[in-house]
């Protein structure tokens, strides 16, 4: 598969701060603890973190309990065990929860954390990726819908208004409604190759 890169300078509404961060870091360096593209910056931050008080075992115990409840795989528990070790750093990112994982950039954020953690580990700085879900977010209307592309690159809107026990319930406690069945069917049809072939006949 051929891949190509589109510079953020060609992406509409990209902010000057992001462009400087990516392409002219020296202009914004005073806002940050180090360059995201320099291994030495990560090593310096890791040294600073070693001096901070921390209880790795308590954190790892909480993560173990949570991930056991979720039925996570061996790789997750291997990362938690690695996090117990002094000197291991965490590459942390997260996102508010959203229907079908929400916008595509949510997945890219998770993949970036994984890739960065692997790179740091390969370079001798023990690191694990951590992705957290902002389940305490209360803006259900914002996350109760998403859009996917079908095989013809047409947009397919998907939604579920959810069922809240109270108006103040955070999205992490909202149950899916019966409308999710229709959304799942739309999802399946949009991604079905046979469905695409039928449209062409």
Q: What is the pLDDT of residues 11-70, one digit of tens each?
A: 999 999 999 999 999 999 999 988 988 999 999 999 988 888 778 999 999 999 999 999
On whether both 66 and 7 belong to a single domain, the answer is no
Q: What is the pLDDT of residues 95-131, one digit of tens each?
A: 988 898 888 889 999 999 999 999 999 999 999 999 9
On whether both 49 and 104 belong to a single domain, the answer is yes
Which residues constitute the domain of residue 4? 1-32
- 118, 134, 150 — which closes off a domain? 134
On whether both 22 and 67 belong to a single domain, the answer is no
148 to each of 162, 183, 194, how far by Cα in Å? 19, 11, 18
On whether both 46 and 127 belong to a single domain, the answer is yes
pLDDT category at 5 given cuts 50, 70, 90 is confident
Token pair of 39, please? 């291994």
On whether both 162 and 117 belong to a single domain, the answer is no
Phi-psi region of 97 (alpha: psi -120 to 50; beta: other; left: phi over 0): beta
- 98, 113, 134 — which closes off a domain? 134
On whether both 68 and 8 belong to a single domain, the answer is no
On whether both 175 and 110 belong to a single domain, the answer is no
Q: Who's near 127: CB < 8 A, 6+ residues apart?
A: 88, 89, 90, 91, 116, 117, 118, 120, 121
On whether both 119 and 189 belong to a single domain, the answer is no
On whether both 125 and 57 belong to a single domain, the answer is yes
What percent of the chain stands above pLDDT 70? 95
11 to each of 18, 25, 149, 164, how far by Cα in Å? 11, 19, 19, 37
On whether both 126 and 183 belong to a single domain, the answer is no
pLDDT category at 152 given cuts 50, 70, 90 is confident
């Amino acid at each position: 598969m051929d891949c190509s890169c589109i510079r953020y300078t060609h992406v509409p509404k990209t902010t000057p701060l992001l462009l400087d961060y990516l392409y002219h870091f020296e202009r914004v360096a005073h806002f940050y603890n180090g360059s995201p593209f320099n291994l030495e910056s990560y090593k310096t931050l890791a040294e600073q973190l070693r001096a901070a008080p921390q209880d790795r075992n308590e954190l790892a115990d909480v993560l173990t309990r949570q991930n056991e409840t979720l039925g996570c795989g061996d790789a997750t528990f291997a990362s938690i065990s690695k996090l117990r070790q002094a000197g291991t750093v965490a590459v942390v990112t997260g996102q508010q929860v959203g229907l079908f994982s929400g916008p595509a950039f949510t997945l890219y954020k998770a993949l970036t954390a994984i890739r960065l953690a692997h790179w740091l580990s390969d370079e001798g700085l023990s690191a694990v990726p951590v992705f957290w879900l902002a389940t305490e977010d209360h803006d259900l209307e914002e996350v109760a819908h998403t859009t996917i592309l079908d095989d013809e690159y047409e947009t397919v809107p998907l939604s579920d208004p959810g069922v809240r026990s109270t108006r103040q319930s955070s999205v992490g406690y909202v149950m899916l409604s019966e409308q999710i069945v229709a959304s799942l069917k739309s999802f399946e049809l949009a991604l079905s190759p046979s469905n695409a072939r039928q449209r062409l006949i």
